[in-house]
Structure 1
Amino acid sequence: MLLALPLGAHAQLRHPGDPASNSGALPNDIPLELLPTPDVAALLAEDEAADQWPFRYGATIATELSPGDRGRWDVLEATGELVWRLEIASPGALTLGVTFSRFDLPTGGRLFLYDPQKREILGAYTEANEKPNGEFAVQPVPGDRIVVEYVHPRGADLPDLSIGEVIHDYRNILAHLGEAQFSGGCLVDINCPVGADYQDAKRGVVWLIGSGGGCSAFLLNNTAEDATPFLMTAEHCGDMTNAVVIFDYERTGCDTGSSSQSKSLSGATFLRASNPFDGQLYLLTQSPPASYEPFYCGWTLDESVEAPGVGISHPSGNPKKIQKDNQAPTHSSSRWSVSFDVGIIQGGSSGSPLFDHRKRVIGICSAGISSCASNLALYGRFDRFYETRDLDVFLDPLNWGLSGIDGYDPFSAYLIPFNGTGANDEIFSGLALPVLGTTWSTQVDTSSIPQAVATAVFGYSAPFEGLFLSFGELLFDPTSTPLVSSTSSVAGGLSQHDFALPNSVSLVGNVGYLQAFVVGGGSLTATNGLKAVLHL
């Protein structure tokens, strides 16, 4: 059965601080707000009938709970601060998630959420966590009771704070029950051998949770290559402005090891959506820090792609998995189609990327067959979404006008070959990563050009494509800033170029586009290019 995929939304960076109640100077009796219990049996029956498509783990309970009409206020005598607390219970819930419909704190205000035994404490959340839409979502806390505590600084204006939604989890999203219940025996961890070549791209794929559902999504690079946190997911996933975006959610090994949902952010600004191509684009309200190891995926508008087609997603909310089709993806007017030889998609894979043979995004996961015996998956066409909804405004701010760009790693040295339209010989490679403060070496393999006597390498600040000269396709923009140049003789079919990279913090994150040219026999031959991102 062909099914549409899921729904999503919430999470966040936390700030230093401890709940005021840890001091022991506050009364223990906290007012309790008892919420109605959802019909879990009916929800499970609906999920089974739908084969868990879309992926759902919880029921949304609408509320309107604020410090003005619920809970209790106390004075912390040691500091003069006011403390507001409210306990919320939804009997039988395995975790509880909270979304604030209003979240506006004064400077110095601190918000915490925790289970009554304080086995897990979320926060402090401060005015730095405020979002443009005035809302704020918090990832689930284990158990069917949760305490909300707000610490108010002395003399400050009162906060505008209201709890608008509580998520009653009936599947235990934090215990990764999806791994046991929905794996189907044919899910493949991203850190298995088949994922070895995608250890960069995997860091661009994230898990979204909220409003009782889950989706996959991915970060996208732009031509400014400045780590602007553009996020793309499926249009059918719904409103993601309050999404909890979880990074690095994967098992540490292949079919073994632990996983964590601790690296999270909350909130995004909506930019564009397309129903025909099932995509939507957001801008995260916070940039992921270096500790999250984010990667900004490359993308392409080219509809002529080669094998393999590779997907990376969170099927049924599982830790990150890989899917691989050893054939080239095919396409209709609105969808890419693949039949995976390795792995499958499931509810929760919605919004995940499909990569072409150069690890550039070509599609957004839209629908599929959740069966080990039949692995068909459909992806909305990124190129058509880009062209019909003017995504170049966001993803091509430098007006390069290229058919695609490669990924970007803002926090470590990165190197990837590129080749424009694919016309040039792919014989130019790096011998190491371009680390600042080292001598970085590249190599041209001229063994296929026996008349070669020398090679030259030029590096510029912008790529180029589509200009074909007598010696091949030019892959750098000669009107952009020149960065490096080098010549070297050929010996034994190889030619090496060494570049002394300064140990300069000011160069961190700079990007260069290099191309080599082979000289010999009275002719010149252009090679593929190398994209180099500098880092310490």
Structure 2
Amino acid sequence: MRTTLIAAALLLPSLAMAAPDKTVTFAPAKALTRAPAHHYASPLAINIDSRTDGAWSVAGDQAQWTYSLKVNNALSLGFHAPQAMLPEGTVLTVNGIQHGENDISRTGMWSLPVEGDVLELVAVMPLNVSKQFLLNIKQVQAGFRSMQPLVVPKAQQVLKAVPGKAVLPQHDFSKPIPKHQNPDCLKNQPFIERQSRAVAVLNVMNVGGCSATIMNNSNQDETPYLLTATHCGISEGRGDISIGEYPSEAAHQGLADSAASTRAHFYDVQKCNATTGSVVGSGAMDTNTYILGAQHRAALSDTWLIELDRHISAKMHPYFSGLDAPVVVVNETHPESDNGLFSIGHSYGGQQRYAPYLSCRSEFDSISVRCFLGEDFLDAVAAGASGSGLFDHSNRVSGTINGGGDGKEDFILLSNFWTWNRGNANENISAWLFPDSPIGQAPKRLDGYDPYGAFAVATPKPTAAPTATPKPTAVPTARPTATPVPAPQNGGDSGGGSMGLGLLALGLLALRRKALN
């Protein structure tokens, strides 16, 4: 027995075998008064290092590291660990939710945020690799506002995790949305069904929730481009941006850092429920299907294009939206007509909502348009919908939501990329969506692409699975080269500080109205 303990001590990292848990205090009311509407958490600097903190124990040939953090008054908690090494055989759980390589991007590990004010970290690994394990947390994100389903509720957490058993988050929403706003209840309208599969919800740096649109490109090769709002990726002190402005070098750097920490969740719904539940196919997005990490591609004014680090799973049946970049967008028709304009976004970070517009008019010398909602849809667009697209019935996007309220929403037009004609690839989306066209000569219209089609409708009796349509073979093309942006510093605190404060102030100043998200 004595020999076994000595051997275990030599194999374990050099630290005290027990350390007290840490408790810090957070002031959510103060954070709430300073934050943009799409933020649900604030970053707090901290230093938790598995080499010096926590408690180790040994059972047979297995080593276990545990650590508990309490943040008083926090509604939810997440963390960023710039250094994270999980040797083979390691099972790391956060409040019972297994984390692994899918939660590590170029800037380190970003945990799934969990409801509550306690983080319970447990890592179980073979004893002979325990010296290789490393988790160095430099920041926790303390929640001050509910933003489901970005945060895993307590009911779905298992604080005493079973080593080796993955407990993945599911969500239960008890508050339904009206059926006329629920895209899952409108699947008989193909343009709504298609667009629903093209809309994702973004969790940026574990502090902000926005919406995004999956975009097609002229090669139709399923490159995972997402279109959203620039302010979703701008953090305080990292280069502010206002309407009608070019991003600064600092802004490009901030966007590059934010992209690396962005987690995109995708929608997988097959039927309409009166109360939208959590199971895939019953009214909410599939939180278990997500991609962490992206590359900053292009930004101009308040429009941002990113490329995910991994392709979107075919099981999500993604639809790749088309593009329309007219200089002026005017919609004076009934929203149900063929040329009616609409949006679909994840308001409050929750289930998608459909919002048709009665009319739109040009604003700010055609930099943006303002669109007006009917009485039954006044609450369909809210915090979390920033970055949602302005779509037509042909599923082409012409702008992204920048702000709004009181039944009217502002969209920054994609035509700015053509009329301003910036030569740098990181300031022109046409360089990415039309890779074979010189910047300034790219078409202004692109059709959508539906390689997988709609989800099969569930039936009471088993039926034969439909034959998948063969996917076209992608034609390799040269990728555009973006203006060099300094690489993020790995090992430091990525994007510390509250996000979007400068943008919020400038956006309010420019539009004189409340920013949505």
SS of 1:201's equivalent in the other structure is helix
Match 2:25 to one of 33, 37, 41: 37
1:334 aligns with 2:367: yes
Equivalent position of 2:169 in the other structure: none
Q: Which string of whole-angstrom CA distances, capped at 9 and with x for unpartnered residues, describes residues 346-368 of structure 1?
A: 22111111113421011111011
Q: CA deviation at 1:67?
A: 1.0
1:232 aligns with 2:265: no
| Change in 2 beyond 3 A, CA 1:282/1:355 | same
Q: Which string of whole-angstrom CA distances, capped at 9 and with x for unpartnered residues, describes residues 35-57 of structure 1?
A: 4221233345x27xx8xx52332
Contact 1:59 1:168 in 2 (8 A): yes
Which whole-Å CA distance do the structure 1 matches of 2:26 and 2:261 have between them? 23
Q: Which string of whole-angstrom CA distances, capped at 9 and with x for unpartnered residues, describes residues 80-128 of structure 1?
A: 34332212222343332222222343444442212xxxxxx322413x6
Supply the RMSD in Å over aligned alpha carbons: 3.7
Match 2:84 to one of 82, 100, 103: 103
Larger radius of gyration: 1
Equivalent position of 2:72 in the other structure: 91
Which whole-Å CA distance do the structure 2 matches of 1:187 and 1:102 have between them? 46
Q: Which string of whole-angstrom CA distances, capped at 9 and with x for unpartnered residues, describes residues 108-154 of structure 1?
A: 4442212xxxxxx322413x6542x2322122223322222234455
How many pairs were matched up? 375
**Equivalences for 1:81-480 in 2 at 5 Å?**
81-114=62-95, 121-126=96-101, 129-131=103-105, 133-153=106-126, 155-156=128-129, 158-174=132-148, 188-193=181-186, 196=189, 197-209=191-203, 210-238=205-233, 239-248=258-267, 253=272, 256-258=275-277, 259-260=284-285, 261-274=287-300, 276=301, 278-303=302-327, 307-327=339-359, 330=362, 332-341=365-374, 343=377, 344-369=380-405, 371=406, 375-385=407-417, 387-388=421-422, 389-399=427-437, 401-412=442-453
Q: CA deviation at 1:391?
A: 2.1
Equivalent position of 1:519 in the other structure: none
Which whole-Å CA distance do the structure 2 matches of 1:137 and 1:385 have between them? 32
Which whole-Å CA distance do the structure 2 matches of 1:90 and 1:106 have between them? 29
Contact 2:78 2:142 in 1 (8 A): yes
| Change in 2 beyond 3 A, CA 1:146/1:354 | same
| Change in 2 beyond 3 A, CA 1:404/1:102 | farther
Which whole-Å CA distance do the structure 1 matches of 2:296 and 2:23 have between them? 31
Which whole-Å CA distance do the structure 2 matches of 1:182 and 1:171 have between them? 19
Which whole-Å CA distance do the structure 1 matches of 2:18 and 2:218 have between them? 53
Contact 2:51 2:134 in 1 (8 A): no
SS of 2:21's equivalent in the other structure is strand
What TM-score does the superposition give when structure 2 sets the normalisation length?
A: 0.63
Q: Which string of whole-angstrom CA distances, capped at 9 and with x for unpartnered residues, describes residues 206-262 of structure 1?
A: 112244321111211112212211122111112342122222177953763223534
Which whole-Å CA distance do the structure 2 matches of 1:179 and 1:129 have between them? 25
SS of 1:199's equivalent in the other structure is helix
Which whole-Å CA distance do the structure 2 matches of 1:173 and 1:249 have between them? 19
Q: CA deviation at 1:187?
A: 8.6
Contact 1:189 1:251 in 2 (8 A): no
Q: Which amino acid aligns with 2:49?
A: S
Please identify, of 384-393 and 199-208, the stretch whose mean Cα deviation from structure 2 is larger.
384-393
Q: Which amino acid aligns with 2:113?
A: P
Equivalent position of 2:248 in the other structure: none
Q: Which string of whole-angstrom CA distances, capped at 9 and with x for unpartnered residues, describes residues 464-506 of structure 1?
A: xxxxxxxxxxxxxxxxxxxxxxxxxxxxxxxxxxxxxxx898x
SS of 1:236's equivalent in the other structure is helix
SS of 1:217's equivalent in the other structure is strand
Contact 2:147 2:209 in 1 (8 A): no
In structure 1, stretches of 5+ residues that fail to align are 1-28, 115-120, 415-436, 439-502, 512-536
Q: CA deviation at 1:155?
A: 4.7
Contact 1:84 1:149 in 2 (8 A): yes
SS of 1:327's equivalent in the other structure is strand
Aligned-residue sequence identity (percent) comes to 23
SS of 1:90's equivalent in the other structure is strand
Equivalent position of 2:462 in the other structure: none
SS of 2:310's equivalent in the other structure is coil
What TM-score does the superposition give when structure 1 sets the normalisation length?
A: 0.61
| Change in 2 beyond 3 A, CA 1:381/1:162 | same
Q: Which string of whole-angstrom CA distances, capped at 9 and with x for unpartnered residues, describes residues 354-397 of structure 1?
A: 1134210111110112x2xxx22111112323643232332123
Which whole-Å CA distance do the structure 1 matches of 2:348 and 2:124 have between them? 37
Contact 1:354 1:362 in 2 (8 A): yes
Which whole-Å CA distance do the structure 2 matches of 1:265 and 1:367 have between them? 26
Which whole-Å CA distance do the structure 2 matches of 1:381 and 1:138 have between them? 34
Point out which structure has higher relative CO (alpha carbons under 8 A, 6+ apart).
2
